[in-house]
Copies of this chain bind each other. A is one copy, B any other.
């Protein structure tokens, strides 16, 4: 377990760095209605693993071989956390999943009301693109690279990406019968933002086109493995470690990987996806591939 602890510690350091950046991510000089700003930061500061921004820093460093310029990587890392956060705020709305709590805290609309939750989600989403544009300042990346990142983010978070995954999930609900449909949802709902994170990090670190493709494979596979592992933990996990009740998927009649292909085949799938993710990283010939490999292992060995 000592290996896993090292990567956990590393991810915690990344999370702390991201959180200190998030605090100052909305220009103080801007005249923003007080309650709107409060609503945005309520959810931005509600915690979580900060996995996506950590993957940006980690991929940039893997490609470059040394710490990539924070002037470029931190704004983009904040941007992906803004996108992730807005998606949770809108997902929790009564018209969507109708959740009152997230990570033990009241959801945004329970505190600020539905209208403000819709608007602060919109504001978080919009500001993500402002942050990406900042990455080209202060000797960060070139305007071309920043614009590539804008394009990737808009695609992977938009209609053909994360929002598409959410829509398919909502439209499918109990009606999903094939592994292909379930995979579409997970690939877009979960993997696409992870693919964005590792490829944006790759672009910041100066990856070649081939390396970006391999990072995409890595991201897609760890995203999918992460999601299947979530399904597995819901069945066989330890409630205390998870911090939530198990068997909730079964109780809610949710269609999951274990439901469709069985627990053993789900575990084998996680193993296969993780190996493929690691192979892609090894094939890419990065200067410092270790942390990307460790993160792939950590995500599926985790017990919460």
Contacts and interface: CB of A to CB of B under 8 A. Distances in A.
Contact of A130 (B113, B118, B154, B164): B154
B33 A126 contact: no
B125 A136 contact: no
B147 A150 contact: yes
Interface in A158-212: 158-160, 163-164, 166-168, 170-171, 184
Given A118-B95, A143-B142, A147-B133, A164 B125 contact: no
Contacts of A164: 31-33, 36, 123
Interface string A1-41: 00000000000000000000000001100111101110010
Contact of A115 (B96, B132, B134): B96
Given A118-B118, A133-B150, A158 B33 contact: no
A127 interface: yes
B167 A153 contact: no
Interface string A284-299: 0000000000000000
Q: Which 10 A-B pairs have the closest CB atoms?
A: A130-B154, A95-B114, A126-B158, A30-B160, A133-B151, A143-B143, A123-B159, A36-B167, A129-B154, A143-B144
Interface of A: 26-27, 30-33, 35-37, 40, 86, 90, 93, 95-96, 113-116, 118-119, 121-123, 125-130, 132-134, 136, 142-144, 146-148, 150-151, 153-155, 157-160, 163-164, 166-168, 170-171, 184
